């Protein structure tokens, strides 16, 4: 089983491909990792070295893996942080070519754009391209609550809002939308929700809120969910597994008191989460 993962890469810490590759490999998936950035570490530290890659370099890497037959052998393309508008367009071209070459290939777009605490943290020309070029090509998208509201252009305060607004987004392409870090009117205190919505079904899973917010949790969740789907799990099972596994990683990280997620140390809980949180079906219109 092969997955092509197109995301940022850091030398220190766990975001982008540096968060996503190991969990997928742990699940027995051969990951073809294409970087969009090469950075010393994520933003948030006193210094950061490296840069967003030149679009021609990313294009060459993508063309090179096509020449090696990676597209024909892949089950899924996963994309995350892109770094520039030019790279976003190049990735869109690659995905379109790949899906034409391999019609069974699925595309999971994690629209890494921003969050509630910081707002948009990418260049202003990137979000419209993710919404209008990449998401229509996707089979699965995994926005956080903030990113979902941008993609649908409306506030979502209840699960009903999420389901209704998801219909507008699905009309433009994706058949599965997973909304992470959802904070809804009926979300119990001390919990966080993740919802998966398809055309005729929807599910939610609630997990206890862990009092830390390390970077890369969205990247890790997308990798866990995608790996479960690639291995044949149905959407609600993949949702419950990914939410349970990431909760285990966050608990381990909180116990260690580190800023970066303890991903490698948490291999055991990603393989077999110690606490399982099941996805529950919710009503759809």
Domains of the chain: 2-282 (3.40.1190.20)
Q: Is the pLDDT at 147 greater than 90, yes or no?
A: yes
Residue 283: per-residue pLDDT: 78
Nearest to 244 by CA among 282, 266, 270, 220: 270
Contact 186, 159 (CB under 8 A): yes
Q: Residue by residue, what is the 3-state secondary structure of 179-235?
A: EEEECCCCCCCCEEEEEEECCCCEEEEEEECCCCCCCCHHHHHHHHHHHHHHCCCCH
Torsion 146-7-16-278 (CA) sign = positive
In tens, the pLDDT along 192-244 reads 999 999 999 999 999 999 999 899 999 999 999 999 999 999 999 999 999 99
Find the mean pLDDT for residues 100-126.
Answer: 94
In tens, the pLDDT along 238-270 reads 999 999 999 999 999 999 999 999 999 999 999
Residue 66: per-residue pLDDT: 97
Average pLDDT, the chain: 95
Contact 191, 208 (CB under 8 A): yes
Confidence of residue 169 (pLDDT cuts 50, 70, 90): very high
Q: Is the pLDDT at 31 greater than 80, yes or no?
A: yes
Residue 119: per-residue pLDDT: 85
Tell me how far apart the alpha carbons of residues 102 and 119 are, in angstroms, rounded to a whole number.
Answer: 36
The CA distances from residue 41 to 18, 48, 63, 99, 174, in Å, are 10, 6, 27, 33, 32
Q: Is the pLDDT at 99 greater than 90, yes or no?
A: yes
Residue 59: per-residue pLDDT: 98
φ, ψ of residue 153 in degrees (nearest 5): 70, 25
Give the 3-state secondary structure percentages of the chain, helix then strand then coil, rounded to 5.
Answer: 40, 25, 35
> When comparing pLDDT for 3 and 1, which is higher?
3
Residue 285: per-residue pLDDT: 66
> When comparing pLDDT for 186 and 143, which is higher?
143
The CA distances from residue 129 to 133, 139, 177, 194, in Å, are 5, 17, 18, 25
Residue 216: per-residue pLDDT: 95
Contact 76, 229 (CB under 8 A): yes
Q: Please give the sequence-ordered ranges of beta strands (E in DSSP) within the chain, or none if there are none.
A: 2-10, 30-39, 50-52, 74-79, 106-109, 114-115, 119-120, 140-141, 176-182, 191-197, 202-208, 280-282
């Amino acid at each position: 089983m092969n997955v092509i993962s197109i995301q940022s890469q850091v030398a220190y810490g766990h975001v982008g491909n540096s968060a996503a590759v190991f969990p997928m490999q742990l699940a027995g998936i051969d990951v073809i990792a294409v970087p969009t950035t090469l950075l010393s570490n994520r933003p948030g530290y006193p210094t950061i070295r490296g840069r967003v890659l030149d679009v021609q370099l990313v294009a060459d890497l993508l063309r090179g893996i096509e020449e090696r037959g990676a597209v024909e052998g892949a089950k899924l393309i996963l994309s995350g942080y892109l770094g520039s508008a030019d790279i976003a367009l190049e990735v869109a071209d690659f995905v379109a070519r790949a899906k034409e070459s391999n019609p069974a290939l699925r595309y999971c777009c994690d629209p890494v754009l921003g969050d509630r605490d910081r707002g948009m943290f990418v260049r202003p020309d990137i979000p419209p391209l993710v919404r209008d070029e990449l998401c229509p090509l996707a089979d699965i998208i995994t926005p956080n609550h903030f990113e979902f509201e941008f993609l649908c252009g409306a506030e979502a305060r209840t699960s009903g809002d999420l389901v209704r607004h998801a219909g507008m987004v699905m009309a433009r392409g994706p058949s599965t939308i997973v909304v992470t870090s959802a904070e809804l009117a009926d979300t119990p205190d001390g919990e966080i929700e993740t919802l998966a919505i398809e055309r005729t079904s929807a599910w939610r899973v609630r997990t206890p809120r862990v009092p830390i917010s390390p970077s890369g949790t969205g990247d890790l969740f997308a990798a866990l969910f995608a790996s479960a789907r690639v291995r044949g799990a149905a959407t609600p099972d993949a949702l419950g597994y990914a939410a349970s596994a990431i909760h285990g990683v966050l608990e381990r990280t909180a116990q260690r008191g580190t800023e970066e997620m303890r991903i490698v140390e948490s291999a055991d809980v990603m393989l077999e989460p110690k606490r399982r949180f099941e996805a529950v079906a919710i009503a759809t219109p």
